[in-house]
């Protein structure tokens, strides 16, 4: 067990001097390999900010963020994009698939972006098979149901075999049965392949699938 | 190109419509350019088709053939410096004539040439120009439509001089008026003076010729551009072409800017999953190149098809170099229009993908 994502006294402040709002206050946190952590909290509590920083989409105002014990606070945008591509898999709220790509192309795009031509096709085939989407390979997102879309998004997040899986309200647009299925898929993959996972959710019915539940309230992290 | 092509294919109608607008604009550019070329050739084809490189003219004539006057002494001075008969005098006068026995006047331009010199025109109907005698003229074939036949007599409406038509040439006009050719004896008899308008030179050594202060060497191109009406005509057509290019640039700019704005969330998602700004910019630029290139190719086809059905009386000439130049320019201008979208893409942040429902 080693720590994959570490926050060291991280704060994030939005706005200019006069009307500053602190989205995160002095948060220290760490998630290890094989661990699936849920972040809950009311809207506006700083959950999205937290996830964005773990996913290298935002830089902290103070404090440091480490990925696999490497400090990434001061990296350039280009290097961050590259690191996101290599190490992090995102599953967004409402799937956020690219509307003009077929299910297969959604996955192949990741291969294109990371320039690894070799066996991306077989890998995509295997993933779709595993997630029960083989028959939907040549369909566009608009032809899929909500659950199918979210499963494609998971397949996309797994494409580069990332060490870290970040999920932003993945169950928001699904009914409770489908929602639970999606989180189960994430949890079992994280366990089996020793990855680190963080899920931001409102959905209390899936919390039992997570190893730890953390609560953010007014920018401060509390043990749930 | 992975994204570019797939998106065009998915949103066929959208890209077809912008492509169609581009085709129409490019088509119009080619048509106006062809017309400008055609009119240019039609305007002063007698000069354009002349096997000449330079003209010696009076300095204060500013390249205008009708304003210049060269005396016999000046002409001899120039001709002594050339060999192989590479210099020949030309007299020209714009006037109006009528067919003997009728009252309908026609504007023409008279060229007086050495019938053995290199600017003597080729006669297509009638005897060779070498046998053109005093009082005889060879006329441009377009006058045939005005009812003038070989053997008819034409009268200069000012001097009442009469000339006999003995042959036709083809495609010889000056300032959109048909040219009639006469020999030097006819010219002297008509103008009552032994002088010309210019000396026409051919060959590379023309530039070495020493001229006195009153004279200057004028290129054939400048003589063409100084033809009455030439600049005004070409200028207005060129302005139209320039505007069409500007319009094309703006249309592309607005279209791609609007769809880029519409897709900014999508670009955010792409950035979040690891696409670099460079990759996304390449994708949009790729789309523009694809759309612009296809549009240009289609409009070249349309232009060619149109040129086949245009009546002969419409002056329309398009050369490969014009096609090539304007095609490249159209693609460049389209890319210029893309700058706005590129700026927009660089502004999109990956964070936009988080916490928003599409």
* DSSP sequence for B116-129: TSTTPPPPSEES-G
Residue numbers in A near B265 (CB within 8 A): 96
Write the DSSP symbol of residue B194: S
Which is it for strands B162-169 and B136-140: parallel, antiparallel or unpaired?
A: parallel
Range of the domain at A173: 3-223
Question: Is A84–B358 a contact, with Cβ atoms under 8 angstroms apart?
Answer: no
Q: B270 contacts in A (CB within 8 Å)?
A: 98
Q: Domain map of chain B by residue range? A: 2-43+231-353, 46-224
- A96, A101, A140: residue with CB nearest B353: A96
Inspect the interface and report whether the beta carbons of A90 and B349 lie closer than 8 Å.
Answer: no
pLDDT of A55-113, one tens digit each?
Answer: 888 888 889 999 888 888 888 888 888 888 888 998 887 778 999 999 999 999 988 88
Residue-wise pLDDT tens digits, B212-258:
888 999 999 999 989 988 889 899 999 999 999 999 889 988 999 99
CATH number assigned to the domain comprising residue A115: 3.40.50.300
- Residue pLDDT, tens place only, B278-309: 999 999 999 999 999 999 999 999 999 999 99
- pLDDT (tens digit, 9 = 90+) per residue, A9-68? 988 888 777 777 788 888 888 999 999 999 998 877 888 888 888 988 888 888 999 988
Which pTM value belongs to this model? 0.77
Distance CA A11, CA A158 (A): 30
Alpha carbons B310 and B201: distance in angstroms, whole number:
37
Calculate what percentage of chain A has a pLDDT beyond 70: 99
What φ, ψ does residue B152 adopt, rounded to 5°?
-70, 160
Q: Is the Cβ of A209 closer than 8 Å to some Cβ of chain B?
A: no
Nearest CA in chain B to A43: B355
Q: Is B10 in contact with A98 (Cβ distance < 8 A)?
A: no
CA of B351 to nearest chain A CA: how many angstroms apart?
A: 5
Termini Cα distance of chain B: 25
Q: Give the per-residue pLDDT at A203.
A: 85
Partner-chain contact B355 A57, CB within 8 Å: no
Count the residues in chain A: 224
Domains in chain A, number: 1
ipTM: 0.85
**Are the C-beta atoms of residues A40 and A17 closer than 8 Å to each other?**
no
Contact flag A57-B276 (C-beta cutoff 8 Å) = no
Is B308 an interface residue toward A (CB < 8 Å)?
A: no
Which residues sit opposite A36 in a β-bridge? Answer: A197
User: Cα separation of B183 and B324, whole Å?
Assistant: 43
B281 in reach of chain A (CB within 8 A): no
């Amino acid at each position: 067990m080693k720590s994959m994502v570490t926050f060291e006294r991280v704060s994030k402040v939005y706005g200019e001097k006069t009307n500053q709002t602190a989205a995160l206050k002095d948060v220290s946190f760490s998630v290890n390999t094989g661990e699936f952590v849920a972040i809950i909290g009311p809207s506006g509590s700083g959950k999205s900010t937290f996830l964005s920083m773990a996913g290298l989409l935002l830089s902290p105002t103070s404090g440091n963020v480490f990925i696999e014990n490497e400090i990434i606070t001061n990296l350039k945008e280009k290097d961050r994009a590259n690191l996101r591509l290599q190490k992090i898999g995102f599953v967004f709220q409402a799937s956020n698939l690219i509307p003009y790509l077929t299910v297969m192309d959604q996955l192949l795009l990741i291969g294109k972006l990371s320039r690894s031509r070799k066996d991306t096709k077989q890998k995509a085939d295997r993933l779709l098979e595993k997630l029960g989407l083989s028959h939907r390979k040549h369909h566009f997102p608009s032809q899929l149901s909500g659950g199918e879309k979210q499963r494609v998004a998971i397949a996309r997040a797994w494409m580069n075999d990332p060490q870290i899986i970040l999920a932003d309200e993945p169950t928001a647009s699904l009914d409770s049965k489908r929602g639970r299925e999606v989180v189960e898929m994430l949890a079992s993959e994280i366990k089996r392949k020793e990855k680190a996972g963080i899920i931001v959710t409102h959905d209390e019915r899936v919390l039992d699938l997570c190893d730890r539940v953390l609560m953010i309230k007014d920018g401060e992290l509390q043990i749930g | 190109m992975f994204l570019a092509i797939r998106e065009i294919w998915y949103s066929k109608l959208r890209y077809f419509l912008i492509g169609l607008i581009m085709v129409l604009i490019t088509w119009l550019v080619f048509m106006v350019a062809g017309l400008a070329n055609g009119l240019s050739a039609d305007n002063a084809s007698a000069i354009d088709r002349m096997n000449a490189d330079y003209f010696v003219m009076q300095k204060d004539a500013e390249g205008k053939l009708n304003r210049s006057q060269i005396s016999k002494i000046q002409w001899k001075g120039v001709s002594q410096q050339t060999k192989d008969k590479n210099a020949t005098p030309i007299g020209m006068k714009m006037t109006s004539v009528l067919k003997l026995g009728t009252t309908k006047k026609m504007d023409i331009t008279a060229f007086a040439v050495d019938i053995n010199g290199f600017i003597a025109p080729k006669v297509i109907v009638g005897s060779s120009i070498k046998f053109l005698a005093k009082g005889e003229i060879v006329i441009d074939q377009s006058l045939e439509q005005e009812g003038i036949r070989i053997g008819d007599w034409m009268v200069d409406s000012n001097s009442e001089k009469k000339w006999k038509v003995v042959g036709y040439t083809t495609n010889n006009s000056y300032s959109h008026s048909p040219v009639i050719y006469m020999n030097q004896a006819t010219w002297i008899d008509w103008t009552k003076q032994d002088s010309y308008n210019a000396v026409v030179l051919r060959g590379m050594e023309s530039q070495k010729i020493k001229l006195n202060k009153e004279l200057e060497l004028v290129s054939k191109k400048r003589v063409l551009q100084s033809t009455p009406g030439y600049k005004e005509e070409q200028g207005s057509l060129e302005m139209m072409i320039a505007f069409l290019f500007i319009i094309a640039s703006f249309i592309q700019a607005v279209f791609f800017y609007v769809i880029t704005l519409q897709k900014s969330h999508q670009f955010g998602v792409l950035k979040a999953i690891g696409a670099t700004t460079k990759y996304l910019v390449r994708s949009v630029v790729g789309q523009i190149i694809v759309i612009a290139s296809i549009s240009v190719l289609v409009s070249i086809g349309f232009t060619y098809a149109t040129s086949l059905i245009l009546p002969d009386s419409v002056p329309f000439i398009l050369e490969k170099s014009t096609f090539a130049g304007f095609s490249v320019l159209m693609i460049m201008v389209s890319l210029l229009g893309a700058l706005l979208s590129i700026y927009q893409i660089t502004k999109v942040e990956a964070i936009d993908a988080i916490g928003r429902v599409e």
